[in-house]
Structure 1
Amino acid sequence: MTDFDSFRRDWLQHLASELRLSPKTLEAYGRDLAQFAAFLGEHLGAHPTLADIAGLKPADLRAFLGRRRRDGVGNRTLMRQLAGLRSFARFGEHSGHLTAAAFAATRGPRLGKSLPRPLEPAAARAVTQAATRAGEEREAWILARDAAVLGLLYGSGLRISEALSLTRAQAPLQPGDTLTVTGKGAKTRMVPVLPVVVAAIAEYLKLCPWRLPPEGPLFRGAKGGPLSPRIIQLAVEGLRGALGLPSSATPHALRHSFATHLIGRGGDLRAIQELLGHASLSTTQIYTRIDSTRLMAAYDAAHPRAQSA
């Protein structure tokens, strides 16, 4: 193990303990740095040391990004990899081992400004209703479970990981109940739960065949273990076919729909930011752009003078 390998381990531990990044983000950053080390092994002719990293120039970093692009990696992944390398360099700079100048001076690829794609209100409601899947050969408790999970995504704006991390003790049981949710960066927020979602969770609890201890997961898989996000993704894929929805209709699109539909009905942007758990208001403001885009599309289609010369 070189000093680079040891320092990489210390950096990942710092991200986990001090910045509290999610396991998936840590896995991605660790993989990115391993790919960077492999590239430098070829580029420099030997496995890199911290001295090698300290001596890198922006041209070396651009060569790495170019290699990754030739491997078929998209711009967003390249930006994430560059962000990880910059974080690693800053950590090294603060500890006196590296300088971050070359990393900061390296420009990443431009990203197209893509907007989230919410569902129409009627489609979002259909996706979250167990009755929509009544014709499927599934046990009633599984249909009720999926409806409860999807109801939380659309009704409370939860991420799928947040919904599936809920314990039985956290289950809202009465209209007006709220949830305390732990989101990205281990930040907690309180979100309301609609009466219709409370009812969906109650139906799931009534039908669920598994014992649910208070501190155990609320939502269970078919064999009684914690429910996998992939199961919910597959359920939505099936609903896409049944309802004729586009490929952009995913579980996360329900969270986008939650925000967009609230803004479309005059919801306060700051309040929606709190409900979503966004650290920055600018992240929430993207939904105002979606609503404006939809408004102008409706205007162009319906206004008598919209098509006039």
Structure 2
Amino acid sequence: MIQVKNLSKRYGERIAVDDLSFTVRPGVVTGFLGPNGAGKSTTMRMIVGLDAATSGTVTVNGRRYADHPAPLRELGALLEAKSVHASRSAYNHLRVIAATTGIPKRRVDEVIELVGLHQVARKPAGAFSLGMGQRLGIATALLGDPETVILDEPVNGLDPEGVLWIRNLLKTLAAEGRTVFVSSHLMSEMALTAEHLVVIGRGRLIADVPIAEFTSRACTSSVRVRSPHSAALSELLAGPDVSITSSERGVLHVTGLSIEQIGERAAQAGICLYELSPQQASLEEVFMDLTRDCVEYRAAGEAATAGKVA
């Protein structure tokens, strides 16, 4: 378990993390979301003691990370995949870490096999692709068979097979009762992997909720309607508080009317319906809506686009 209490971090006049409190519990995958500059990486670095907090506390399984007699057995972290000597092989990189922390040699072979690097384990890590570097970073995080795992953007550089692999790995670790805390900018992947979300913006907590509750916060929801008479149905449903869009032939997305209202009007007009289903806003849409005022950098034209997110 990770407990963050009233955590703050200042760099001169800049506040990177501002009175942040949340708990990451075992048994579920907890996603850590926020725009660039929100303070995610700084928070993760403070959890493992790489940055000192200006105020507040962070504990891992009841203690400061540095106070554990065998820290790598308590928490494994991937914060920077390329933090490895370029001329050292993946095997030797892991072997050195294991030897200096009392981890048996056989565990090195186990994690190399687990992350799929057995064929390149003796090659210099400096020649690795981004995806291979990510796998080595994950192997390093898992080397101590820790109860808690923190991964910062673990799917960067992975191909579709690798993304599926890390998704299943995270779920397996959580199912084993471990604490899994992972950040990502890929909302579609986070929606498939995480069960709970911690969302921050400008260093402050925005949400700490199950993912289903988070997506239900959407300001609006629509109804998907499929009909061979979509043009006539669109005219029938039109009104001052009703929004109707179409992304494909014969399909309408209706906002402002309930499923019951649409079905009753269609039935009264004798219009055949092939589909009538609720469409909840995606994780990405809700995230964009809740964090639009927390974005640190925005390219030309993005401001107008952000304002249109439902």
Report 1 or 2 for greater relative contact order, CA contacts < 8 Å, sequence distance ≥ 6: 2
Q: Which has the higher helix share?
A: 1
TM over 0.5: no
TM-score bin (small chain): under 0.3
Greater strand share, structure number: 2
TM-score (norm 1): 0.25
